[in-house]
Structure 1
């Protein structure tokens, strides 16, 4: 399991906890599908998968996990760019247009 996959599972667990569903292992198929949907939404848009309840420790943890996930994505992209540069594939993102 990659670092990104592991972080995604942590985010899913935080969302399940925020929804009052307990641990991921105990979820039924419908509940897991809902958690997966909310996780995908949270990753795509920042944090819309967060329950609508007032900010709680769970909500704060979720925002922190989402920030870590974004950092891991950026690190992966930076690592790939460094590898390409070492191979002579020097480029600038603005050249991709």
Structure 2
């Protein structure tokens, strides 16, 4: 499991507890799907560049910390991909993505 996958798993564990579902590993398929959906929505909605940002002030301190770490890993992953492309001769600027 990559670092970003591990961080997402930590977020999902916390969300399962906050939803009152208990341990992530013991969830039914339906409950696990609900946690996965809520996790994806939380990660997307609490991002600083989200087009429709959620009010994440209600999130507890641990969840906010995990979300910050997750975003940092996303940025790192993006930067590593850019560096790899540059090494392969695919040099471009972010403004070229439009």
TM-score calculated relative to the size of structure 1: 0.81
Number of equivalenced pairs: 90
- Whole-Å Cα distance in 1 between the matches of residues 75 and 82 of structure 2? 10
2:28 aligned partner: 28
TM-score calculated relative to the size of structure 2: 0.81
Q: Which runs of 5+ in 2 are unaligned?
A: 48-53
RMSD over aligned Cα atoms: 1.8
Runs of 4+ in 1 over 2 A off after TM superposition: none
Q: Which runs of 5+ in 1 are unaligned?
A: none
1:85 aligned partner: 86
- Whole-Å Cα distance in 2 between the matches of residues 26 and 65 of structure 1? 22
The worse-fitting range, judged by mean Cα deviation, of 16-25 and 68-77 is 16-25
1:6 aligned partner: 6
Are 2:50 and 1:45 aligned? no
2:17 aligned partner: 17
The worse-fitting range, judged by mean Cα deviation, of 67-76 and 80-89 is 80-89
